[in-house]
Structure 1
Amino acid sequence: MLNVLFIRHYTFGQTACDIMAFFHILCTFFSMMMTGAISFERYHFICHPMQYHSKFTGRRILGLLLVCLSGALLTACCMLPFLRSDPPFFFPAPMYCVSHAIASGVVGWMFFMAAGSLATYSQVRIYLEARRHLRAIQAGNISGHSAEDFRKKIKSAVTTAAVVAIWWLSEFPLITVETILVTAPHMTSVGWQVAHRVSRFAYFISTCSNPIVFAFRNRQFRSAFKKLLRPRAVHSFN
């Protein structure tokens, strides 16, 4: 089944394959950048609660979505022309174009590093803040409503941490296999080809599903998104 999806000379033809390649790259990079943006949102929600409502307004949320979508479109547009020149197989791995085009590689790595660094930085800061509050709660310096409120915030951050962890766990095997295949072209055994396809497929599934899982599990994010869709609502997170 996977072979049918990634071989050009089947019924769907060249145009359908190019369309599939474009949307594959678009969805993968948009999801990846949104993972970083969502992590940054949780960081402000937990570590800077007093500034949170003024910073994450409806317009800024919309602007953030547009930035992520624009970056994904730019990446897809840069990569797609080079994918046409390598029949009969289409390799949609977002980190390496099979033609080794410099432009596509630079754009892809730029957005990948930005999203990955932002997500990792946000999770580290959330962990440090949670540890500091936990020590204060254990020492009795924070109690009652404040302690319960912070526990709820940490609970919402656990989902984000799981999203980022799954993303990195699916990313490292893909990068490893792609790097080996690019630097050692003689590695053409069936095992390496299977590892290549499985790691690529796992990365695609994890990156495209992670933000959806987060949105369904995070009450604050759902509430803010509903307010964003209501013209008369106050555009801010609650």
Structure 2
Amino acid sequence: MERTPETFQPTSIPIDVIRDISNVTKSMLVFLYSVIITVSLVGNSLVFLTFICNRHMRSIVNVFIVSLAISDFTVTITCMPINLGNILTKYWIFGAFSCKLVPFIDNLTVSSSSLTLCCIAFDRYYAIVHPLKANAVKTPKRAAILLLIVWIIALVSSIPYSFCFELFEVCIDPKGCPKHKAHRTAHFCRGQDRSQIDQLQIWLTMVVLFIIPFVFMTVTYSVICYTLWSKRPIGSSFGQSEDVQTRYKKKAVKMLILVVLLFVGCWSPLIIFEVVAKETELLASDKSLTSKYYLQWLALSSACVNPIIFAFMNEKFRKNFNKILCCRRNQIDPLPKRTTQPINLTLMDTGNNSNPDSQRVKSESVMKESTQV
């Protein structure tokens, strides 16, 4: 049965249909996205290759860093290109499946990243605040279980997002769109009108996967900083150089501050913007739409800054990066000689501690362990 050429008018035309960003803004976003995509692909690939090719880099904290790199790499090859394409074309041209897949992967990677950052904070807490207990608590088996829990939580919390988004066909002709003339319509990937239960689920996800991790990291790193700056480091009473202590402190504190600032700085502006936009008419102007696109870029840029803070600032990672980039795989450092036994013997020695060399080894070894990432 043939359908009559009826004309339909959408009840509400999406704000994107009647507004668009300038060509200058589009060009700038293309450049910015190209930068973070390139840096993220190269940086996260180097992190993964360094971990695979070097046995001595397979520490527990580096396992968490690799998990973070995998998450960042995934969002780089999926969400970033599609997000940029949607900005440039104005409409959704990637099909119904991608409309559900992209929000799912986006939330999955962000959730896993935030929880993995908590794991790193937990690891650093024991390494610095309780260095003598760290070896008993930080085991490969526990790290694997912790990572499995992280990805399960992220996966479960992301499933509802694939059901919240649908592909909508809307009329873009002010005069109306006959149903048999599809060229006058366009597709948009948008969230459905959510019920109170859906809204509650979104807020619970935000609290559990963003606010609580942020509070946890803030408290954890505050305790770590207090331990580094206020308390006398282990072994400092045995004549350790003040310059050595200061160097270790500065290195650790820089790392900790950057972890918190980058996590908050990349994601909080977009989260606040989205929450305010849902309750107000914030997106009613061209400038606000431009701001939204830049904030989306800022949030996604966390995928390229994470390799910088966790890898490029680490001397061992940087050294192996250079060797991989220069195609000198055969020159990668072999597994280093074990030094655990002499250090443990020194720490457990209950006899005469008058040997200054032994005391110096003990103090510097513990301090290095407590501040090294």
TM score, norm. by length of structure 2:
0.50
Contact 1:31 1:211 in 2 (8 A): no
The match for 1:9 among 92, 98, 102 is 92
* Pair 65,4 (structure 1): closer, same or farther in 2 beyond 3 Å: same
Q: Which has the higher strand share?
A: 2
How far is the alpha carbon of 1:210 from its aligned partner?
4.9
User: Matches of 2:168 and 2:256 in 1, distance apart?
Assistant: 38
Q: Match for residue 234 of structure 1?
A: none
Matched to 1:185, the amino acid is E
How far is the alpha carbon of 1:153 from its aligned partner?
6.4
The answer to whether 1:164 aligns with 2:245 is: no
The answer to whether 1:25 aligns with 2:107 is: yes
Contact 2:273 2:292 in 1 (8 A): yes
The answer to whether 1:213 aligns with 2:308 is: yes
Equivalent pairs, count: 215
* Pair 24,168 (structure 1): closer, same or farther in 2 beyond 3 Å: same
* Pair 65,168 (structure 1): closer, same or farther in 2 beyond 3 Å: same
* Pair 151,63 (structure 1): closer, same or farther in 2 beyond 3 Å: farther
Contact 2:258 2:309 in 1 (8 A): no
Give the match's secondary structure for 1:84.
Answer: strand
Contact 1:34 1:211 in 2 (8 A): no
Q: Match for residue 330 of structure 2?
A: none
Can you give the 5+ residue segments of structure 1 that lack an aligned partner in the other structure? 92-96, 223-237
Matched to 2:260, the amino acid is V
User: Matches of 1:186 and 1:194 in 2, distance apart?
Assistant: 12
Give the match's secondary structure for 2:281.
Answer: coil
User: Matches of 2:162 and 2:315 in 1, distance apart?
Assistant: 37
Q: Match for residue 140 of structure 2?
A: 58
The answer to whether 1:176 aligns with 2:272 is: yes
Contact 2:266 2:299 in 1 (8 A): yes
The match for 2:226 among 122, 128, 153 is 128
Q: Match for residue 94 of structure 1?
A: none
Worse overlay, 50-59 or 193-202 = 193-202
Matched to 2:211, the amino acid is M
Q: Deviations over 1:44-80 (max 9, x none)?
A: 1111101111111001111121121111111211222
Contact 2:269 2:295 in 1 (8 A): yes
How far is the alpha carbon of 1:81 from its aligned partner?
0.6
Matched to 1:124, the amino acid is S
* Pair 98,195 (structure 1): closer, same or farther in 2 beyond 3 Å: farther
Matched to 1:113, the amino acid is I
How far is the alpha carbon of 1:83 from its aligned partner?
1.8
Between structure 1 and structure 2, the one with the greater Rg is 2
* Pair 142,68 (structure 1): closer, same or farther in 2 beyond 3 Å: farther
Contact 1:35 1:211 in 2 (8 A): no
User: Matches of 1:205 and 1:90 in 2, distance apart?
Assistant: 22
Contact 1:25 1:76 in 2 (8 A): yes
How far is the alpha carbon of 1:32 from its aligned partner?
1.4
Contact 2:255 2:309 in 1 (8 A): yes
Contact 1:83 1:99 in 2 (8 A): no
Give the match's secondary structure for 1:144.
Answer: coil
How far is the alpha carbon of 1:189 from its aligned partner?
0.5
Q: Match for residue 225 of structure 1?
A: none
Q: Match for residue 215 of structure 2?
A: 117
* Pair 52,132 (structure 1): closer, same or farther in 2 beyond 3 Å: same
Give the match's secondary structure for 2:210.
Answer: helix
TM score, norm. by length of structure 1:
0.74
How far is the alpha carbon of 1:110 from its aligned partner?
1.4
Q: Percent identity, please.
A: 18
Q: Deviations over 1:163-203 (max 9, x none)?
A: 22111122332233112211103641111111122112211
The answer to whether 1:196 aligns with 2:287 is: no
Contact 1:22 1:76 in 2 (8 A): yes
